[in-house]
């Protein structure tokens, strides 16, 4: 049944990690459950928690010791990313039963364009069926927003949790959207909300009517974009291929105890470099910029990056850049957290290495191989042979590193 206007769903899984654990272990259902990193360590942070735990005041990013004070009977589990990845894959596979236009945006949420859905069902009936199937087949609850574009669908899915279905039409903006605090708007973080407050904007409605010059002066081009969003304008299509578009791959870890031992710090950096390199190789990408994060205390974090002359992927080169940044920017105080992020990603087959006097001799060693590969590609087609072997061991080494990863764009690997 062809429909006029776009019909976009935003499917948002409720307390995803906790819900997956409950689906895996039925004894956890209906109980206050928290998923936390570094469960046995003093720096454990709640990654997510069940709605039963939230009823006691437990929140995401809350220190584990505080969460246990609020809810002494809290059950704590370590993250199991492989388990979450499989559940995510199953969830998106189910969504694709309805349309090919499914765009994953993270491990637990995605957009669907059901405008041309041929089923003889209304959008609300389709949403109800999806919600019921996810709950009955995968034991996973979700909320679904229905709207004419992605921004409004995202806002709608947040309006009723858990297990909510909300329709948000443009004609309802004045009553449903504009009264909300501007900080609750998708795309407006705490810092942006504070900036908007300085020009008298505290609600989404006030942003929708904001002065164009003021907004551009305060937020740059993002000010114009946010005003359009507040007025319900969003022309972005649902793009199934956008999941492959990522700009960085990073890992971080909180140390068991603060340390100024340089050898310990270097070993942690090496572990991070190994994990980042493994994930880059899985994706066949190179990095042109390496970022190092050093945290000394709760409110003291230093972030520095180094632009590279040539794209890299190896542990050795990532480690070299990280150590350079460490020696330059570490003040010698005890370190609490370290992180390495590979930025400005490029695909291997699209990268061009800049040869110079220092790298020419090394590159020349591989010239016969490059020539042979080029001849094979000319004869049989691009990509007929790839360097390196992707195997289970490579993936496993990354997943067992017990590090915090930027999990948003590689969960379908």
pTM over 0.95? The answer is no
Residue from 366, 360, 253, 275 nearest 319 by CA: 275
If one compares 187 and 412, the residue with the highest pLDDT of the two is 187
* pLDDT range class, residue 344, cuts 50, 70, 90: confident
Contact in structure between 209 and 240 (CB atoms under 8 Å): no
pLDDT at 45: 87
* pLDDT range class, residue 408, cuts 50, 70, 90: very low
Catalytic residues: 109
Taking the C-alpha atoms of residue 32 and residue 186, their distance in angstroms, rounded to an integer, is 28
Give the torsion through C-alpha atoms of 271, 274, 275, 279, to 10 deg.
170
Residue 145 pLDDT more than 50?
A: yes
Other C-beta atoms closer than 10 Å to the C-beta of 46 total: 22
Residue 283 pLDDT more than 90?
A: no
pLDDT at 120: 78
* pLDDT range class, residue 136, cuts 50, 70, 90: very high
Share of the chain above pLDDT 70, in %: 79
* pLDDT range class, residue 347, cuts 50, 70, 90: confident
Mean pLDDT for the chain overall: 84
pLDDT at 111: 97
pLDDT at 381: 55
254 φ/ψ angles, rounded to the nearest 5 degrees: -90, 130
> What domains can be seen in the chain, in order of their start residue?
16-81 (3.40.1170.60), 82-171 (3.30.70.270), 175-230 (1.10.150.20), 246-377+392-405 (3.30.1490.100)
pLDDT at 402: 42
Residue from 8, 9, 12 nearest 143 by CA: 12
Q: Say whether 239 counts as a known binding-site residue.
A: no
Tell me what the mean pLDDT of segment 365-389 comes to.
52
Residue 18 pLDDT more than 50?
A: yes
HSE at residue 225, side-chain half, CA atoms within 13 A, is: 10
Q: Say whether 212 counts as a known binding-site residue.
A: no
Taking the C-alpha atoms of residue 124 and residue 7, their distance in angstroms, rounded to an integer, is 11
Q: What is the pLDDT of residues 50-60, one digit of tens each?
A: 999 999 999 98
Residue from 294, 293, 288 nearest 306 by CA: 288
Q: What is the pLDDT of residues 163-206, one digit of tens each?
A: 999 999 999 999 999 999 999 999 998 889 999 999 999 999 99
Q: What is the pLDDT of residues 243-256, one digit of tens each?
A: 555 668 888 888 88
If one compares 3 and 52, the residue with the highest pLDDT of the two is 52
* pLDDT range class, residue 141, cuts 50, 70, 90: very high
Q: What is the pLDDT of residues 78-108, one digit of tens each?
A: 989 889 989 999 999 999 999 999 999 888 9
Residue 316 pLDDT more than 60?
A: yes
If one compares 413 and 295, the residue with the highest pLDDT of the two is 295
């Amino acid at each position: 049944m062809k429909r006029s206007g776009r019909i976009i769903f935003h499917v948002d899984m409720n307390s995803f990690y906790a819900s997956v654990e409950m689906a895996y272990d039925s004894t956890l259902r209906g109980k206050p459950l928290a998923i936390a990193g570094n469960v046995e360590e003093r720096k454990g942070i709640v990654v997510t928690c069940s709605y039963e735990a939230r009823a006691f005041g437990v929140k995401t990013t809350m220190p584990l010791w505080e969460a246990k004070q609020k809810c002494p009977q809290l059950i704590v589990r370590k993250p199991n990313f492989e388990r979450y990845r499989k559940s995510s894959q199953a969830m998106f596979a189910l969504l694709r039963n309805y349309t090919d236009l499914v765009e994953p945006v993270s491990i637990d949420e995605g957009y669907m364009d059901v405008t041309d859905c041929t089923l003889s069902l209304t959008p609300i009936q389709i949403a109800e069926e999806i919600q019921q199937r996810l709950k009955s087949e995968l034991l996973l609850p979700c909320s679904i927003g229905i709207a004419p574009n992605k921004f409004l669908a995202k806002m709608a899915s947040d309006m009723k949790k858990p297990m909510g279905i909300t329709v948000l039409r443009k004609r309802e903006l004045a009553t449903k959207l504009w009264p909300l605090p501007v900080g609750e708007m998708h795309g407006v973080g705490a810092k942006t909300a504070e900036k908007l407050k300085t020009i008298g904007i505290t609600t989404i409605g006030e942003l929708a009517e904001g002065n164009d010059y003021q907004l551009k002066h305060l937020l740059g081009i993002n000010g114009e974009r946010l005003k359009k969003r507040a007025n319900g304008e969003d022309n972005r299509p649902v793009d199934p291929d956008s999941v492959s578009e990522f700009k960085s791959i990073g890992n971080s870890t909180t140390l068991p105890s603060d340390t100024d031992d340089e050898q310990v710090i270097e070993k942690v950096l090496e572990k991070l470099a190994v994990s980042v390199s493994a994930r880059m190789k899985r994706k066949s990408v190179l990095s042109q910029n390496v970022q190092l994060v050093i945290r000394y205390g709760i409110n003291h974090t230093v972030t520095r990056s180094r632009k590279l002359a040539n794209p890299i992927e190896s542990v050795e080169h990532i480690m070299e850049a990280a150590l350079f940044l460490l020696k330059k920017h570490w003040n010698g105080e005890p370190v609490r957290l370290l992180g390495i992020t590979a930025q400005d990603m490029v695909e291997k087959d699209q990268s061009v290495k800049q040869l110079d006097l220092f790298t020419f001799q090394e590159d020349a060693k591989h010239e016969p191989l490059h020539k042979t590969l080029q001849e094979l590609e000319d004869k049989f087609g691009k990509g007929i042979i790839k360097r390196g072997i992707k195997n289970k061991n490579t993936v496993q080494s990354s997943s067992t590193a017990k590090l915090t990863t930027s999990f948003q764009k590689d969960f379908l690997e």
